[in-house]
Copies of this chain bind each other. A is one copy, B any other.
Amino acid sequence: MSAAFRDLLETFDNPHPAREYEIETICPEFTSVCPKTGQPDFGTLTILYSPGAKCVELKSLKLYLQQYRNHGAFYEDVTNLILDDLVAVTEPRWMELKADFTPRGGLSTSVRVDYISHDGQSGD
């Protein structure tokens, strides 16, 4: 499933690949469906990364995230899967994904996942 969505992500060449710097993108309109109850979940995704050879293209990111709109996914699982997809297509120096979900049953939950490239330079 995640593989199919991953193909929607497009990248462009990092215009300054020699410098280690950071890009943060905040996506406050993420919504998926709880696989147990069928009820929609809502949350804000915050993607922070240091680009290697490639940056993620924002329009394709938006389209990619919209695929989860009618897709059943647990909080902990979907956050890990999205990180995996973004790392696979951009091969960053490092990346952090934080997902803050709105309250359910009086409880609100966030999941934070990190990736660090082995050579500390790029994700190859």
Name A residues whose Cβ lies closer than 8 Å to a Cβ of B.
Answer: 14-16, 19-29, 31, 39-40, 42, 51, 55, 58-59, 61-62, 66, 69-70, 74-77, 79-80, 102-114
Contacts and interface: CB of A to CB of B under 8 A. Distances in A.
- Interface of A: prevailing SS: mixed
A22 B111 contact: yes
Given A23-B111, A24-B111, 16 more contacts: A15-B76, A15-B80, A16-B80, A21-B79, A21-B111, A21-B114, A22-B110, A22-B111, A22-B112, A23-B76, A23-B112, A24-B109, A25-B109, A39-B66, A62-B105, A104-B105
B76 A28 contact: no
24 contacts: A15-B74, A15-B76, A15-B80, A16-B76, A16-B77, A16-B113, A19-B113, A21-B114, A22-B110, A23-B75, A23-B76, A26-B108, A28-B102, A28-B106, A29-B42, A31-B40, A39-B66, A58-B104, A58-B109, A59-B105, A61-B107, A69-B70, A70-B70, A104-B105
